[in-house]
Amino acid sequence: MSARSKLDACIKGLEDSLGVPAALKDSIGGVPSTTAPATALQLVDSTIATLEASLGLPPGAVLTPVDAKGIAGGDTKRPTKGKEGVNKGGRKKAGKAAASNVGVSSADQPDGTKVDLRVGQITRVWTHETADKLYCEEIDVGEGAPRNIASGLVPHYSLEEMKGRKVIVMCNLKPRNLKGFKSQGMVVCAVGALGDGKEHVELVVPPEGSAVGERLSFEGLAGGPFEPVSAAQMEKKKVLDKILPELTTDVEGTVRWRDHALVSSCGACTAPTVRDGAVR
């Protein structure tokens, strides 16, 4: 074998060791032609320079050769590409991981967190034209326009006592037609039993400083944050039927669902005087 043939074989081995693609091998073309005599060392240097230029390497770069197990000692398997050129398996795994972080399913969500309770403020109130126990109210709950809500509070509060009050509003209820007035929610009240069989009803009060429209939560529930369900889901899943028996005031008047206090960012919501009473 001639010296040139040996040099060509050596260059081929170098290309294979570096993992040079076939297209680049063709462009490199083995040992470069020369118009003047050159030593074997000069030919090798020239060929190495050509390889470096073709591969985009800086002169004298130190490379890790390809071993029998794979490129740079790694796995020779290439990623499986889908239609968009991404790893299908990786995308599926990432999708599952992302889904697991979105939040718990509705089946695992505590019933108390499904209710949309907000701080509201009565901006207008009047007595219903035909129902003598109903007040008609416009209540700001932070939505831009006030909600129309009817409440059977005429026996318990005067018109003046209702004006401008901050209240707690249950917002994710289906609208109801009450004596011709479309009510878009419910004002939350505490109810205590009186000795003569009657009831004492009073509005639940948000803590001082609570912002109009602030959504309330039950303190200490694990696994959140949770989002309230829709009005349709409230009705379909009978959420009110499930939570009202356990929605009460404690001995200090704090509203609780089970052992969890109803709170805003400013503190707990309370009933002024009702103790160990029902909330509805």
Residue 96 resides in a domain: no
Q: Taking 50 as the threshold, does the pLDDT of residue 45 lie above it?
A: yes
Residue 169 resides in a domain: yes
Instruction: Tell me, yes or no, if the pTM score tops 0.75.
Output: no
Round to whole Å and give the CA distance between 190 and 246: 13
In a shared domain, residues 232 and 145: yes
Q: Which residues pair with 254 in a beta bridge?
A: 270
**Mean pLDDT score across all residues of the chain:** 80
**Helix (H, G, I), strand (E, B), or coil: what is residue 139?**
strand
Residue 267 resides in a domain: yes
For residue 164, the one-letter residue type is G
- Residue finishing a domain among 73, 89, 119: 73
Which residues touch 136 (CB under 8 Å, ≥6 apart)?
A: 125, 126, 127, 128, 148, 149, 150, 181
In a shared domain, residues 64 and 151: no
**Per-residue pLDDT reduced to its tens digit, 47-83:** 676 666 666 666 666 555 544 444 344 444 544 444 4
Give the number of domains in the chain: 2
Q: Taking 60 as the threshold, does the pLDDT of residue 96 lie above it?
A: no
Q: 196 lies in which domain range?
A: 111-279
Round to whole Å and give the CA distance between 3 and 149: 100
The token pair at 192 is 């205590």
The token pair at 195 is 């000795």
Determine phi and psi for 252, rounding to 5 degrees.
-105, 0
What confidence tier does 224 reach under pLDDT thresholds 50, 70, 90? confident
Give the pLDDT score at 40.
56
Give the pLDDT score at 237.
95
Q: Taking 60 as the threshold, does the pLDDT of residue 93 lie above it?
A: no
In a shared domain, residues 150 and 256: yes
Q: Which of 8-12, 107-111, 118-122, 158-162 has the lowest mean pLDDT?
A: 8-12
Q: Taking 60 as the threshold, does the pLDDT of residue 27 lie above it?
A: no
Percentage of the chain modeled with pLDDT above 90: 58
